[in-house]
Amino acid sequence: MSSALPRSLLVLGGARSGKSRYALELAENSGKAPVLIATAAAGDHEMAERIARHRAERKPDWRIIEEEIDLKGALAREARDERIVVVDCLTLWLSNLMMSGKDLNSAGEVLARALPALAGPVIFVSNEVGLGIVPENDLARRFRDAQGRLNQRLASGCEAVVFMAAGLPMQLKPSGAGLRS
């Protein structure tokens, strides 16, 4: 790694852009005990298979926490100076909140306000869903807008932000020397 890992990092990008791989490699190369907070809910057979595949791919030194809703609580419990936490991903967490009828704006604010109090470094993975066409249905438009607002809140609160495209990291915040996995 060419520079020290920030206390909080947001890794954004589109589907299959390399976000998770980048975040996991940063964590593995950090010298800290890696913790993954997985937010996926196995709502269908394909997602259940995907979750099982991701579990099998994890190296044995990873501590895996599955938390679909109470992300702030999981972070408070798991973030420690000797650990590095990867949250994969904010998009699925937001979807879980939306399907549970939660107040998305409030949840995003609560998460953003919790960042300074975390006791150890955290890497958040999130999808950038606002670069495509305007969705044709109301639910998809509300989700896209909520995701954009959440990404803005976290980007503002995190020490560093990286945008992934085609597996290539582009550091957005702070400007200067890049983070390397």
Confidence of residue 176 (pLDDT cuts 50, 70, 90): low
Write out pLDDT tens, residues 118-144: 999 999 999 999 888 888 999 999 999
Report the alpha-carbon distance of residue 130 to residue 84 in Å, rounded.
29
Q: Are 8 and 157 in contact (CB under 8 A)?
A: yes
Report the alpha-carbon distance of residue 156 to residue 74 in Å, rounded.
21
Structure tokens at 27: 């964590």
Q: Are 50 and 7 in contact (CB under 8 A)?
A: no
Report the alpha-carbon distance of residue 69 to residue 140 in Å, rounded.
20
Domain boundaries, the chain: 8-173
Instruction: Report pLDDT for 178.
Output: 60
Q: Per the residue annotation, which of 7, 32, 54, 173 is the catalytic one?
A: 54
Q: For the domain 8-173, what is the CATH code? A: 3.40.50.300
Model's pTM, two decimal places? 0.91
Q: Classify 70 in phi/psi space as left (phi over 0), alpha (psi -120 to 50) or beta.
A: beta
Segment 152-161 shows an average pLDDT of 97
Task: For the sheet with 122-127, list strands across it.
Answer: 63-66, 33-38, 83-88, 122-127, 8-13, 160-165, 168-173
Higher pLDDT, 38 or 2: 38
Instruction: Report pLDDT for 96.
Output: 95
Strand partners, 87: 37, 124
Report the alpha-carbon distance of residue 68 to residue 39 in Å, rounded.
4
Write out pLDDT tens, residues 60-104: 899 999 999 999 999 999 999 999 999 999 999 999 999 999 999
- Residue 68 is given by DSSP the state S
- Catalytic residue status for 45: no
For residue 12, which phi and psi values (nearest 5 degrees)?
-110, 155
Report the alpha-carbon distance of residue 83 to residue 162 in Å, rounded.
21
